[in-house]
Amino acid sequence: MKRVAPRAAEPGPALSDLARVARLARRRAIAPFSGFKVGAALRTRAGEIVTGCNVENASYGLTLCAERVAVFKAVSEGMGHFDAIAVVADSRRLTPPCGACRQILWEFCGDVWVHIEDLRGNARTVRVSELLPMPFDRRNL
């Protein structure tokens, strides 16, 4: 039987540290069309961190969000067993992952903590299952 490490009942204490990493990644955002820069930092249970930023291009529709960049970077490097992602943006309302990113987070990271923060330090931490309560995934196929 495959053993799965139990998920922590509370988010780790260091999610604001993870957000600091996401804030640095945000500075590399390529967002000339929206002007909306986002940074993400995805953490494994072992404590490795992979960052992402949004990458826009002239066709608009091929834009990748910071979250998906981080997830695809990580899984393409063979990483797994994630426990949290921090997402930092600068907006009046906190920026939660878009629908596409929720799906990708659920499928590749599972029910990890999602820590969203703005540049003033306002923050909220939720789980992917709160953002995507009735997911479609491989169990449906």
Whether 67 is a known active-site residue: answer yes
Three-state secondary structure along the chain?
Answer: CCCCCCCCCCCCCCHHHHHHHHHHHHCCCECCCCCCCEEEEEEECCCCEEEEECECCCCCCCCECHHHHHHHHHHHCCCCCEEEEEEEECCCCCCCCCHHHHHHHHHHHCCCEEEEECCCCCEEEEEHHHHCCCCCCHHHC
Residues interacting with ligand THU, by CB under 6 A? 31, 34, 36, 38, 54, 56, 63, 65-67, 87, 95, 97-98, 101
Choice between 13 and 133, CB closer to ligand THU: 133
Q: Work out how close the CB of 122 gets to ligand THU at its nearest, in angstroms, rounded to a whole number.
A: 15
Choice between 2 and 27, CB closer to ligand THU: 27
Choice between 84 and 101, CB closer to ligand THU: 101
Q: Work out how close the CB of 13 gets to ligand THU at its nearest, in angstroms, rounded to a whole number.
A: 24
Active-site residue list:
67
